Amino acid sequence: MLRAEVAIIGGSGLCSIQVFKTVKTVKVNTPYGMSPELLIGEIGGRDIAFLPRHGKKHTTPPHLVNYRANIWALHKLGVKRILATTSCGSINPQMQPGELALLTQFIDFTTCRAHTFYEGGKSGVVHIDVTEPYCPELRGAVRKTAKKLRVKVHPHATYACTEGPRFETAAEIKALQILGSDLVGMTNVPECVLARELEMCYAAIGIITNSAAGVSKKKLTYTEVVKTLEKNTACIQGLLLEAIPEIPKRRSCSCSSVLKGAVVKV
Ligand code: HPA
């Protein structure tokens, strides 16, 4: 069985990756009705898995991504750290299209996704703490690398996750702004939560692709999103490539003990 210690989950615009040394493809069986296909390679002497969230050819929309199968497959390979990319619309005018932001909080507005591995019965009942949903150690590695590479990354962003696949109405974005959201996207929940449920460290780099609905006068199109993503691909791949060696070998965050005190005893 192939193993990997760190995984990259590529969002829209990052369905393949050019930064690997050796690449093998593996299909990992899961109990969640899907066997995700992953690439395994090496960065700086460390075994890395790459998983395109929407599939190799971007054929799965955000609300139909099998988040449990994806995270389960990474866990089965031995992955302890996940760096994800996620495209976002900007609500906060200080965060502009073309820039990057590290997510630090999320607000969940999704409605029809499987949000947990623990569904009672044999799998038990678990209530994890998500006060700080994104791993501080991984975020630190990205911030340090961004500084070194002189890439502008907003260090703190609150992300609102909508169900999609449609974009939001102007009124919805106004409401999200009042609630304190900086960015809006469709994929980071429950991905982030599921990783945490398996005590994996998880951080997400938001690629800001557009002003959210009603924030600018311009009509919002997916074509605009793709154009901005294409412009950012080389930069984000460079950032990931350099950030991975910055991740300490041993974990000193609390992500590895999330289940302590979270499991309902029967
Ligand atoms: N809304 C939701 N998801 C997104 C957006 C947006 O404006 N841009 C990129 N993903």
Residue 210: the pLDDT is 95
Q: Label residue 187 by pLDDT band (50, 70, 90).
A: very high
Angstrom CA distances, 120 to 123, 124, 265, stand at: 5, 4, 11
pLDDT value for 218: 86
Tell which atom from ligand 1 comes closest to the C-alpha of 162: 2
> What pTM does this model have?
0.96
Give the model's pLDDT for residue 265: 87
What pLDDT score was predicted for residue 12? Answer: 82
Neighbours of 152 (CB within 10 A): 12
Domain range summary for the chain, segments of one domain joined by +? 6-257
Q: pLDDT averaged over the chain?
A: 94
Model confidence pLDDT, tens digit, residues 73-115: 999 999 999 999 999 999 999 999 999 999 999 999 999 999 9
Round to whole Å and give the CA distance between 114 and 93.
Answer: 32
Residue 59 has pLDDT above 80, yes or no: yes
* pLDDT tier at 161, thresholds 50, 70, 90: very high
Q: Alpha-carbon distance 108 to 190, whole Å?
A: 9
Residues 132/208/160/111 CA torsion (nearest 10 deg): -120
* pLDDT at residue 56 in the model: 84
Distance 89 CA to ligand 1 centre (A): 4
For residue 17, what pLDDT band results from cuts at 50, 70 and 90?
confident
The CA distances from residue 157 to 103, 181, 200, 219, in Å, are 5, 8, 21, 24
Q: Distance (Å, rounded) from C-alpha 189 to C-alpha 254?
A: 20
Report which of residues 169 and 234 the model is more confident about: 169
Report how far ligand 1's centroid is from the alpha carbon of 29 (Å).
Answer: 31
CATH architecture of the domain with range 6-257: 3-Layer(aba) Sandwich (3.40)
> Shortest CA distance to 104 belongs to which of 79, 131, 128, 82?
131
CA of residue 74 relative to chain centroid, distance: 13
Of 88, 109, 168, best ligand 1 pocket probe by most atoms within 8 Å of the beta carbon: 88
